[in-house]
Amino acid sequence: MLTPKLKSFVNLPAGMGLGTRDSNLKPDFSRVLGAMAIDDRHIKLFIDKPTSQRSLANMQDNQWVALVIVEVMSAESYQFKGKFISAVKPNEQDMIFFDQYMKGFDDLVVALGLKQGIIYAYPHSEMICITMEVEEIFEQTPKKGTGQKI
């Protein structure tokens, strides 16, 4: 499912977002601040717990999750759809990865011409690690015919 190329892509300091939905089929969004491929089918991702309460409740309720990742320089993008597995407090190694993501993404947005430190304006006081099982992957790089399942 997750090829070596896709695993490397997931681990990049890239733009990321998480989509969930409630029992009335109303969508919710949470900003993802870092993700790592655990194995061929699972991704661990970082969200801010206080500002993601609705997404967390949605995932516990129906397990559906959709993760989008875009490499901001090339616009290469993939969507990973699947099921919520767990939400746990990050350990020390997770926080090292999270800090590296924040620094790496900050460097990227500066290279794009935005102000340094913009990424740190996003709430990140209490991170939580979500593990998802990937069931489907779609390419979403801007081009004609994009959106195909891979």
Partner 1 sequence: MPQITEHIRAAMQGVVPSMIVTVSKEGVPNIAYISQVFYVDDQHVALSHQFFNKSIRNLHENPYVCANIVNPDDGKSWKLNLAFSHSETEGQIFESMRAQLEAIASMMGMEDVFSLKASEIFKVASIENIN
Residue ranges binding partner 1 (CB under 8 A): 15, 17-21, 25-29, 31, 51, 62, 64-68, 70, 75, 77, 79, 81, 114-115, 117-123, 138, 140, 142-144, 146-147
C-alpha span between 132 and 47 (Å, rounded): 13
Q: Residue 140: enclosing H or E segment and its boundaries?
A: none
Minimum gap (Å) between residue 136 Cβ and partner 1? 9
Q: Give how far Cα 115 sits from Cα of 97, 105, 137, Å.
A: 23, 12, 32
Minimum gap (Å) between residue 54 Cβ and partner 1? 9
Bridging pattern class, strands 15-21 and 27-37? antiparallel
Closest to partner 1 by CB, 2 or 65: 65
Closest to partner 1 by CB, 22 or 95: 22
Closest to partner 1 by CB, 16 or 96: 16
Cα 56 to chain centroid, rounded: 14
Closest to partner 1 by CB, 29 or 91: 29
Please give the single-letter amino acid code of residue 83: K
